[in-house]
Amino acid sequence: MCGIAGIVALNAAAEPPSRAALLRMAAALSHRGPDESGLYRDRRAGLAHTRLSVIDLSTGQQPLADTGNTTWIVFNGEIFNYVELRDQLIALGHRFRTRSDTEVVVHAYRAWGVGAFERLNGQWALAIWDSLTGRLVLSRDRFGICPLHLCEHAGRLHFASEVKAIFAADPAIPRAFDPAGVDQTFTLWTVVPPQGVFQGIQELTPGHVRIYDNGSVR
């Protein structure tokens, strides 16, 4: 179990993500990844990760980039068929710097786009940031084993493994229960994604991909 989080400016008027906000998000998720934490930040996006080391304990630090250092990923989960995918990618000419399943995912995305997620056998929640195109890709496994929450506020997208990390990023984000989410929680013992417990905060639906592409969402 790891923790992922991030902030992305959705328009030119939004302030760049601050290092302090990303550190607060990481601190709120420290219990999910006690081994180490890491940050990535540019003028439009920031990513945070807290790691529980499972595969490639020595070199699997995140956020992790492709060999061109332009496509960045934060990943929570485990890919069971990453060795087979790695071999396929090597045959296509990809070169790897680690033995981690996370690096396989970022290279798979570079090779096959969002179709890469259909090839994954495992459990995951992830965010991929393409710093060249300004595109953010969010994905969650088919069964929703790994959580991923989303909130758009003040021209920014905030996302995290747990809602409290979103609240930690910006004290101005409203903290109010959503009646529909509360009703589902007491009736079903859970919410049905994308419904969330708090107003303005959704869960990414299991098995879905959401793309933020320079102001458009699909």
Active site amino acids: 2
What sign does the CA torsion over 66, 58, 91, 210 have? negative
Q: Facing residues of 149 across strands?
A: 160, 203
Report yes or no: 14 and 212 within 8 Å, Cβ to Cβ.
no
DSSP state, 39? E
The torsion of the CA quartet 169, 174, 175, 176, rounded to 10 degrees, works out to -160
- Judged by DSSP in three states, 163 sits in helix
In sequence order, which residues have a C-beta less than 8 Å from that of residue 212 and are 6 or more positions away?
A: 8, 10, 135, 136, 138, 157
In sequence order, which residues have a C-beta less than 8 Å from that of residue 17 and are 6 or more positions away?
A: 6, 7, 8, 9, 41, 45, 46, 156
